[in-house]
Structure 1
Amino acid sequence: MTVNELEELLYTTTESEKYHLAHPDVLSIRYQKIAKTTYNSEEIYLFRCEDLLQNHNICINKDSRYTSIPLHLHTIIEFNYVYRGAITHVINGEEIHLNTGDVLILDTNTPHEVRYIGEDDINMDIVMRKCFFTTHFLSNLSSQGIVAQFISHILSDQTNSKHYLIFHTENDLLLRTYIQQLMCEYYDLQYRRSEIIDAYMVIIFTHLATLFQKNTLNRYSLNKMNLTIKILQYLEDNFKTATLLTTAETFGFSTAYLSTYLKKKTGKTFTELIMAQKMSQACFQLTNTDLPIYEIANGIGYENLGFFYKKFKRYYGMNPQEYRNRTMNRI
């Protein structure tokens, strides 16, 4: 399927949309078959998507236009992408306004509703199993270096406290292209391949993390956040030679202040951050190169191969060769 064919499909009036045009302000008859659950002493709809997912990790659906979606919750993760127009969600009584290109990820069992969706509004609803989200987004992100691990920690905290994530992407072109390719693959019923769909989701998640790092850090204390990122980036670039003293001198701090600052902001000591970066670099080399393990160990500062094996196994619960074999089996 081409992008032109995809957009023709998305903009075509569906049978559900024809019903809503003919019956304004009336819920679809499908709601008669949807179970309800009690939330805050109120009965709301319970959307179970297990039947839609079947043996797949994700399912993609366009929300019907010319109607609203009443208060409900999902038993799975919901990934909303505004393909065109503007969409308003209501979560815990708060209106969340999204424009073209914006993303809203909702955790399982998060009650929400969607305001009226007009003719010019296209909202794509991608539902997925929570294990797929955590494995391919947060876990994948946390293995890409200490800066990415720090961003992953922020995202995890935000998801746990609010039960949703918002990405105002300013209609990022790359993200739009990735999502278009994902949908082209998904809607091509003759040639659809689950492994390619899963791969696109990994790319989308990783790109969202990059956008979060670049564009949404102002939701936190921007100056302090930028300082933390700068220090972590310095450690990523200089992990083989950086010491607490040289790092403190680089940023104009005392060693005591820097040590306390890093522990407070990242939850890790200076030594733990250096170790995390060494292990992340080792994982990258094991997964993406054919270098002998002793060369990888030397490259990250371990001249004693046995000591490297011991550290790696303590960190990941398996030795480097076992890690390489496992990641190769996933490809």
Structure 2
Amino acid sequence: MEYTLNELKEYMETNNYEEENIVNGLQGIDNSIFKSERSKTISFDKIVPKGKMIAVRKHTRYIHYPAHNHDYVEICYILSGSSHQIIEQTEVTLSTGDILFMGPGSTHEILASAKNDILLNFIIHKKFFSYILEFIDDETSLSDFLVDVIFKPSSSKALIFKTQNKKEIEELLQKIIGELRHKSKLTESRIKFQLGLLIIELIQQKPRIIEKETYEQGLLIKVIHNIEKDLKRANLNEISEKLNVKNYNLSKMIKKESGKTFNELVRDIRLEKFCELIKIQNISINELAIEVGFSNTSDFYKKFKAKYGVSPREYRNIK
């Protein structure tokens, strides 16, 4: 017997044993699911019965889950309500119909959810995706994610798909959740099959991608902050000394990560600051150009026109 997603939502709104204990102050986070006492990694072997490749659990509500990761792939489906999470230091609000793929090694923190926030977690062993990948030829965000999952020790990437009102996907999820409600000897086999179809349906969708910030990306952000602090005197030698990075290495990294030389990066930041201030400050164009770091105003006019296609005066008058 099949159920609509609304019927399944009503069924799952009922508190389970763990949630009742949390509400009554009798229980906190179950630390037995982690690899060790001090580990922040949830272990597949501790939450999935031996010999199984997939488990599906309703996310436990009413409690805050601190930052953690997994040694498996987690697919989280928002059946109803929302979920506020911090994924790789990026704040995210997932809404009804969203599907989140978390690679093994990707870190997230989950804020406490309310009664109508129903999340389903699909806990899947990495080996499962080797079979799925055989049916996928196209290079997409999801296929790249699966390749990382299969061939790399860990993957800090997360994908978010918007699937609300997409009939084919909703029907597959409906069948999967229906299997959970009425289990039989064939339940796991059916869920594997339906999950494979779901992934194939999602392959052509364009997800939001969240990745862990690399050392180089973090360093570029620090460079930009240092430039913004002293636009007039921004100097590569001083910044490289402050960041304890060799001048040549920092220059090379800036070019690789931004596609610009240090001087080009400084120029563009100065131009962006000028555009921000010219709309709100009652000041002459030349004075403001000098204030943001352009000592040669003639050169400033040329660079501004080349980048924006209009003169500074015309830009100021654009509503």
TM range (shorter): 0.5 to 0.7
8 Å contact kept, 2:23–2:62: yes
Could you tell me how far apart the structure 1 residues matched to 2:198 and 2:44 are?
Answer: 22
8 Å contact kept, 1:60–1:124: yes
Do residues 92 (structure 1) and 88 (structure 2) align? yes
2:113 maps to what in 1? 117
Could you tell me how far apart the structure 2 residues matched to 1:36 and 1:211 are?
Answer: 34
User: Cα deviation per residue 1:27-56 (whole Å; 9 max; x = unaligned)?
Assistant: 24x32x344669xxxx54332122514222
Could you tell me how far apart the structure 2 residues matched to 1:154 and 1:35 are?
Answer: 28
* Pairing 1:12-161 to 2, within 5 Å after superposition: 12-23=14-25, 27-28=28-29, 30-31=30-31, 33-35=32-34, 43-51=38-46, 52-136=48-132, 138-142=133-137, 148-149=138-139, 154-155=144-145
Q: CA deviation at 1:57?
A: 2.2
User: Cα deviation per residue 1:195-251 (whole Å; 9 max; x = unaligned)?
Assistant: 222110111001111333xx779xxxxxxxxxxxxxxxxxxxxxxxxxxxxxxxxxx
Residues paired across the two proteins, number: 202
Could you tell me how far apart the structure 2 residues matched to 1:21 and 1:35 are?
Answer: 22
Could you tell me how far apart the structure 1 residues matched to 2:170 and 2:144 are?
Answer: 24
Do residues 188 (structure 1) and 187 (structure 2) align? no
Q: CA deviation at 1:116?
A: 1.2
Identity percentage over the alignment? 21
> What's the Cα RMSD here?
3.0
Look up the equivalent residue of 2:181 and give its one-letter code: Y
Look up the equivalent residue of 1:106 and give its one-letter code: M
2:168 maps to what in 1? 174
1:242 maps to what in 2? none
Q: CA deviation at 1:8?
A: 4.3
8 Å contact kept, 1:186–1:192: no
User: Cα deviation per residue 1:157-210 (whole Å; 9 max; x = unaligned)?
Assistant: 887874222112244232122112012123322354332221101110011113
Higher helix share: 1
1:315 maps to what in 2? none
Q: CA deviation at 1:71?
A: 1.9
Could you tell me how far apart the structure 1 residues matched to 2:187 and 2:35 are?
Answer: 34
Could you tell me how far apart the structure 1 residues matched to 2:60 and 2:143 are?
Answer: 35
1:293 maps to what in 2? none
8 Å contact kept, 1:82–1:124: yes
User: Cα deviation per residue 1:272-301 (whole Å; 9 max; x = unaligned)?
Assistant: xxxxxxxxxxxxxxxxxxxxxxxxxxxxxx
Do residues 197 (structure 1) and 191 (structure 2) align? yes
Q: TM-score when scaled to structure 2?
A: 0.55
The counterpart of 1:210, out of the listed 196, 204, 211, is 204
Could you tell me how far apart the structure 1 residues matched to 2:142 and 2:28 are?
Answer: 39
* Worse-superposed segment, 2-11 or 97-106: 2-11
8 Å contact kept, 2:66–2:110: yes
* Worse-superposed segment, 186-195 or 82-91: 186-195
Query: Which structure 2 residue ranges, 5 or more long, are not aligned?
Result: 210-319
Determine helix, strand or coil for the equivalent of 1:66.
coil
Per the alignment, do residues 152 and 119 of structure 1 end up closer, same or farther by CA in structure 2, a change over 3 Å counting?
A: closer
2:258 maps to what in 1? none
2:250 maps to what in 1? none
Q: CA deviation at 1:65?
A: 1.4
Could you tell me how far apart the structure 2 residues matched to 1:19 and 1:195 are?
Answer: 32
